[in-house]
Structures are given as C-alpha cells and as structure tokens.
Amino acid sequence: MATLGVCSCGSQKSNNMEITKAPFGTYEGQEVQLYTLSNGAGMSMKVATYGGTITELYTPDRNGAAGNITLGFPTLDGYRSEAFFKVGPYFGALIGRYGNRIGQAKFTLDGKEYKLAANNGRNHLHGGLKGFDKAIWNAEEIKGADSVGLKLSYLSKDGEEGYPGNLSVQVTYLLTKNNELKIQYSATTDKLTLCNLTNHAYFNLAAGAAPDAMGHELTIFADKFTEADGELIPTGKSLDVKGTPFDFTTPHVIGERIDADNAQLKSGGGYDHNWELNAKDGKLSLAAQVYEPLSGRTMEVYTTEPGVQFYAGNFLDGNLYGVDSARYVKRYGFCLETQHFPDSPHHSAFPSTELKPGQTYASETVYKFGVKK
C-alpha cells in the first residue's frame, strides 16, 4: 500500500483524484460535513461525518456510464426523519461498538455483567440507541500515490451505551484507481471491552434500472452459516449450507430461493444471517462476488473478518425516498456486512470480540468494482 499523507485542507486535487467538502447540516449543535471523493477512473463517493456515512457511491456500468449503487439520502434530514427511524436501516453508516445483535441486551466480562439498550425487541442491535452511526466523526483528508480517502476518528467514552472502556476508533476510507473501496478499521481501549466494527452499506448495482435487488447473482465463499432463532439471535450451532437456500458457494440469483419454505429464512423474513467464511487465517481473502446482469456491474468483497452478514433488505417498506427520489421498497438493496459473529459474548466457540488494553483491533474490508461485458 502506498504511503499516505494527511492534509487538513478543504479540497485537494492531483492526478485526476479529488476531495472536496461542503456543509451537510447540523446535529446536536455540531456541524456535519459531506466529503466527495473521486478516483479519476470513473468512481466517486460521498461520505458524511455524521455516522461516517457513505451517502452515495458511483461506479461505471458496462457502457462506462456512472450510476449510484448504494442507498442513501441527499440531505442530513433523510437520516433523521421519523420514517427512517421506524425502519432503522442504518444506510451506509459505520456500526459500533458492536455490529449486529447481542442477545438479551447484556454480556459479562471478567465476571461483571454489563447491561445494554434493548433496541431490537429484547435484544441489542448495532451499538444501541446512539451507536457509532449517530456519532460525529472527525475527518482528515488523505492522498496517496494511487488512492484518495478520509481518515475518520471517534472516541467512544467509558460507559457509552453501556460498554466499558474508552475506545479510540479510527476508520479509513480509501478510493483507489483500481476502483476499489478499502475500509480499514483500528481501535484501542483502556479497559477490557467488546469491539466488532462494520459498515452498513446497502448495494444495488443496477443503479435504479431494476425494481429491486433480487436479480443480482451472488456467490459467498462459506460452507456454513450461523443458525438463528426467531429473534435472529444465534443458537450457537453452525449449519451446512449444502442442500439449503443458504448455499451460495456457486452463483445464485438472490431472489431465486429467498421465499422458500425454510425455517431459517422465515426467522428473518428472508436472508439476514451470518455466513461463516471459509478463510480462517485472518488474512485478506475473497468473501463474496456479485454480478448484476442489467448493468454488467460486478463487485468482489475481500475481508480479514471471519464472517459476513448477508441481509437482503427485507425490512425496507417503501416509505423512504433517497438520492434521485429512488423509492426504497422491500429488498431494494442488500448488505454484505463483514464482521465477527453476532452474539459472540454468549458463545465461547465463536471468534472472540473481546479487546484488551495494549491490544489493537485491526480489520480491513475491500469492495472491488468492475464490469462484465
């Protein structure tokens, strides 16, 4: 990776790569900024300091025409509306301290029980009532030889949303000339805590040319997925995907089996489960591939994480309207959230999400975009 330099200027440009920023409103008396990053190769993205949120992401189709392939809003008001909070989609946001669910909204560390907000029925979801998705992140502009990006930082104070320890978090978004979006996570703590960070981007590679995202072809490099109960809390069992609608070891259209008569599918109203990736060594490995036939767009997902939550947008209800007035109907977009497993604190066999003082949480996920002619 190229050596990165940090610039605090409002905009910078060289080698056709560009960063600009503009006001995006205010939240709790703090100014929110919206950064636009362009890689000079037909790809661009917008990131708000509210939630570290990716609001728009443009990639070329097979004809070279750029289209917005993620779900989001053109103004901050969209992320603060009553309709948005009712659905709770977390469009494009950074998620922490704990991505995904923790059963019964509590966990125990070193013999001490910590109680969390029950914001998903009786369970805890995505960091609580005011998780990292609602924080204002500090941003530094970054320029490398072959990438442009933002380094976002946030201090989650001891006791915030019930979690112990002061957690210092850095997340770097890099847009490369190879049409990759690299997301690098880092965190340290001064007290034993939990840490499981991810990004909640929703993708629709058709960029408005299809009524929903069900026509995408998906491959997930996982032979097992995590069994969930009716509240989408893991039971602790790993199930084989073979012979089930969860088998994406070869390409399948997302909508092909999503409404099959399957108890696991019914628990989430469709796909909303953790796939246990075959790669186990913590190195950056291919986790998933996506192809959208109308546009020809492709996406490859690489990660150092042991799992990926594939969520098919089952809870979108058609009452949200995003960029270019796109109506976000049920299953309009899908998520591939790289992560440690849900509810890990209650399952000793799962990869640990504990972070100790002196350790550094480090994770990387890469979304690589292309086209198939």
Q: List active site positions.
A: 200, 337
Residue with tokens 């100790």: 356
Rounded-to-integer distance, Cα 284 and Cα 301, Å: 10
Rg (CA), the chain: 19
Residue 278's alpha-carbon distances to 111, 260, 272, in angstroms, are 33, 25, 19
Residue with tokens 């703090």: 30
Rounded-to-integer distance, Cα 314 and Cα 270, Å: 6
135: its two tokens: 């924080």
- CB-based contact 175:45 (threshold 8 Å): yes
CA 139 to chain centre: 18
- CB-based contact 344:263 (threshold 8 Å): no
User: Is residue 8 classed exposed, middle or buried when 0-12, 13-18 and 19+ CB atoms within 10 A define those classes?
Assistant: exposed
Residue 68's alpha-carbon distances to 73, 133, 137, 322, 324, in angstroms, are 11, 21, 24, 11, 9
Query: What are the backbone dihedrals phi and psi of residue 349, each rounded to the nearest 5 degrees, phi first?
Result: -80, -15
Rounded-to-integer distance, Cα 373 and Cα 358, Å: 49
- If one counts every other C-beta atom within 10 angstroms of the C-beta of residue 280, the result is 10
